[in-house]
């Protein structure tokens, strides 16, 4: 049994990861400043004697003794990370440095949650995106607090690895959805589902032809754990996401059908720097982790819709 620190553990993905790690018999220490995370996401975990919650902001020093670190702490949807962009940058840089410092001191492994946003708005020559692509990111745009923050976090990981021998794993997470997403999350799947359940107009930004690839959270967590437990010489970065690609219009139509909603679709201007296409090349994950997603979009949407019907009433 390992003692594992999960930063951002009360968030959407973090809460599912904590549950998985506890199920496997580990002791889990979950830290979260509850900026976007919620105790409701981890309420059932408090019954497990191997679970501990610490309200803490990883920008600040944390004195702790653990065997592994999953660093997930950071707002991950545009409305949240743009709400306090300086805080977002600090979380990605100072927070990551603090976690790497712990890993260096304890000589333990740390998994850094990076993002497909490091690829920015990919050009057609780099679609789907593999890990060798350096990206097309606006360094001074409204999204750059997150995009560039995560790019710097990756840089820090590899510099700590090269200079200090820190054992790192870097995962690039593509669009993920599932239970425990916030109602006001601001991500497209939760937006569409909540609007459909309420009978509101479903808002598509742009012409609806921009694409995303949607990975159900259980598949993502499985890839995350496999990367953490992978061979010592494999640092990543490694894409984890579902390569099945859908337009925003296709997603909206699926949500309307699966919810039985009478919502109408409306179109609004595309926000600044919003990527027009996004799809992971998961060849590396297949080769190194023997991983690929198992849950199809319709199946995952039905599970997510059921969750939101329980929290939207």
Q: 90 exposed, middle or buried (CB, 10 Å; 0-12, 13-18, 19+)? A: middle
CA 116 to chain centre: 9
CA distance 248 to 172: 22
Query: Count of residues for the chain?
Result: 313
Contacts of residue 113, defined as CB under 8 A and 6 or more positions apart, other chains included, come to 8, 13, 70, 71, 72, 74, 171, 173, 224
CA distance 216 to 15: 14
Q: 206 exposed, middle or buried (CB, 10 Å; 0-12, 13-18, 19+)? A: middle
H-type helices in 76-143, by residue range?
A: 78-81, 85-90, 96-106
Q: Which of 81, 119, 133, 146 is catalytic?
A: 146
CA distance 296 to 273: 28
146 is catalytic: yes
CA distance 157 to 296: 33
Residues designated catalytic? 146
């Amino acid at each position: 049994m390992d003692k594992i620190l999960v930063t951002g553990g009360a968030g959407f993905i973090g809460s599912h990861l904590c549950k998985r790690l506890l199920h496997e018999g580990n002791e889990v220490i979950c830290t979260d400043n509850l900026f976007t995370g919620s105790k409701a996401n981890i309420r059932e975990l408090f019954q497990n004697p191997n679970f501990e919650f610490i309200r803490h902001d990883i920008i600040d020093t944390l004195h702790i003794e653990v065997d592994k670190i999953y660093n997930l702490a950071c707002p991950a949807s545009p409305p949240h990370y743009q709400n306090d962009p300086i805080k977002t940058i600090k979380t990605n840089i100072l927070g990551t440095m603090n976690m790497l410092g712990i890993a260096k001191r304890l000589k333990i492994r740390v998994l850094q949650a990076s993002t497909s946003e490091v690829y920015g708005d990919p050009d057609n020559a780099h679609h789907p995106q593999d890990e060798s692509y350096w990206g097309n990111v606006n360094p001074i745009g409204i999204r750059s607090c997150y995009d560039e923050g995560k790019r710097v976090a990756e840089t820090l990981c590899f510099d700590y690895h090269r200079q200090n021998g820190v054992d790192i794993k870097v995962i690039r997470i593509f669009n993920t959805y599932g239970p425990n997403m916030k109602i006001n999350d601001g991500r497209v799947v939760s937006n569409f589902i909540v609007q459909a359940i309420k009978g509101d107009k479903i808002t598509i930004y742009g012409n609806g032809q921009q694409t995303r690839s949607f990975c159900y959270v259980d598949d993502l967590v499985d890839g995350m754990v496999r990367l953490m437990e992978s061979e010592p010489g494999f640092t990543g970065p490694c894409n984890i996401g579902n390569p099945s690609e859908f337009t925003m219009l296709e997603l909206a139509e699926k949500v309307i059908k699966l919810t039985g909603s009478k919502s109408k679709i409306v179109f609004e201007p595309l926000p600044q720097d919003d990527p027009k296409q996004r799809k992971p090349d998961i060849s590396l994950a297949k080769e190194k982790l023997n991983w690929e997603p198992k849950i199809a979009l319709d199946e995952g949407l039905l599970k997510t819709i059921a969750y939101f019907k329980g929290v939207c009433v």
